[in-house]
Amino acid sequence: MDLLYTSTRNSQGGVTASQAILTGLAPDGGLYVPERIPKLTIPEKALMNMTYQETAYEVMKLFFTDFTEGELKNCIQKAYDSKFDTEEIVPVKKTNDAYYLELFHGPTIAFKDMALSILPHLMICSAKKNQADKEIVILTATSGDTGKAALSGFAGVAGTRIIVFYPKDGVSPIQKQQMVTQEGANTLVVGIEGNFDQAQTGVKQMFSDQALAQELAAKGFQFSSANSINIGRLIPQVVYYVYAYARMMAQGELSEKEAFHVVVPTGNFGNILAAKYAKEMGIPIGKLICASNENKVLYDFFRTGNYDKNREFILTSSPSMDILVSSNLERLIFEMTGRDDSRDRKLMETLSSQGSYQITPEMKERISDFYGNYASEEETASTIKELYRREGYVLDPHTAVAACVYEKYKNESQDGTKAVIASTASPYKFTRSVMTAIDSSYDCKTDFELVDELEKLSGVEVPQGIEEIRRAEVRHKTTCQVEEMPEVVKGFLGI
Ligand SMILES: *Cc1c(COP(=O)(O)O)cnc(C)c1O
């Protein structure tokens, strides 16, 4: 019997994993959730001896039950290979007071690679299984990290094309250079005269444009999304929490079944939800510590039970967490209602009409294993500086938000349980924020000069992903107005 996926807004019916991966969002606007979370039954001893790829197979086979062993192993093998700069794929780095799970050793040096390196392969395989004969066209709007990770994942994958829109003046110089130098005949990168929200809205309009969809279909194309609400992105993220537990036992840092907390710098709520799924599979995770930056909607929500996006949007040094509507939270809301689709739908309707909703005390009770807090910009910078001073270990600003929130948790709770901090980006991706946090006099240097300074200071070699773009040829020079986005897409597809 296959494990089926139903929409958070309609529990009737159910689709297979491959269908859910192919469609992304459910037709009613809800998110696909598995009917139940499967239990991991492998003994700890066996788990400890597994490679990342083997662990990935054991976890994913329980969720993606309509994939054959061969198909799944093939996807895993293509995703987690020498694109990662370490054989371990995700090393666990121990410091004096926490364990950093380094999720940034992939090609674009941010944790999005963990899921976006496998999603294209899962998607192609899903298309074959469902006799979808059209070429898949991935459309993405990005504020920086997702775009490059999606480009890198889909570049050169037969049967797919990828088009990324980014705000022309709204990403960091390194992020921009990463995207405009992207190789691969099936890739297109376009700068928008506008901000991220406008790019995002433009993409959403194309997704819901029926006439455009028909025009595409007639020429053998269909749109799909690499957005973080796709279940094909969420499940691969469960793997590294299982792997972290196994590695820590293997290294003698945890005993069997010993509980540990996880701390996750959060934006769209995908990464921390994956940790919750790992916990439900049977991994002894204690608290799920949700760290926000100054856009602290989630902190307020965990405290008061009121989700309220009616507030100022703040630009911070951790841009991938500058989010007021955390899409994946809906999957947790659905659980909190006791898997009641009509209540979930009503809450989401209230969110879109009023920008806020209130959960009941009974619902709040169901998420008592979550703890939320936030770090201000000053606290984030001083966390980077302090850890560097004490241990020589350099954090990126997103991870620093998590480290700071973990300190706050410990001070409040006096809880000495060990904790794994999800380290979501390499400091090399945000060199300016990182270096000026350590010493403000660095601010006069260029971004690539700062790369070299960071290497001297941290002793960590400049990652391949940065070396490559330093002198790479700019291949994507297209820019356009927001209204021109559909024309640009059609031009690229030759229709
Ligand atoms: C996307 C991202 C996050 C936020 O992850 P979510 O799954 O959206 O909560 C945190 N840090 C970095 C560096 C990211 O790229």
pLDDT tens by residue, 412-449? 999 999 999 999 999 999 999 999 999 999 999 998 99
| Mean pLDDT (whole number) for 299-323 | 93
Phi-psi region of 89 (alpha: psi -120 to 50; beta: other; left: phi over 0): left
User: 10-14, 247-251, 339-343: which has the minimum mean pLDDT?
Assistant: 10-14
pLDDT tens by residue, 142-193? 877 889 999 999 999 999 999 999 999 888 888 899 999 999 999 999 999 9
Q: Would you place residue 70 in the very low, low, confident or very high pLDDT band (cuts 50, 70, 90)?
A: very high
Alpha helical stretches, state H, 282-396: 297-304, 329-336, 341-354, 361-365, 377-391
Distance from residue 398's CA to the centre of ligand 1 (Å)? 8
Whether residue 104 is predicted with pLDDT greater than 80 in this model: the reply is yes
20-30 residues labelled b (16+ CB within 10 A) or e (exposed): bbbbbbbeeeb
Q: Is the CB of 295 under 6 A from ligand 1?
A: no
Give the residue among 321, 381, 280 at the shortest CA–CA distance from 112.
321
| Mean pLDDT (whole number) for 244-269 | 97
Judge whether 128 counts as a catalytic residue.
Answer: no
Q: Is the CB of 287 under 6 A from ligand 1?
A: no
Query: Hey, is 58 helix, strand or coil?
Result: helix
Q: Is the CB of 270 under 6 A from ligand 1?
A: yes
pLDDT tens by residue, 312-371? 989 899 988 988 888 899 999 999 999 999 999 999 999 989 999 999 999 999 999 999
Distance from residue 268's CA to the centre of ligand 1 (Å)? 7
| Mean pLDDT (whole number) for 47-73 | 98
pLDDT tens by residue, 280-289? 999 999 999 9
- Given the residues 83, 112, 279, 385, the one annotated as active site: 112
Question: Cα 137–110–268 angle (5° rounding)?
Answer: 70
Ligand 1 atom nearest residue 271's Cα? 7
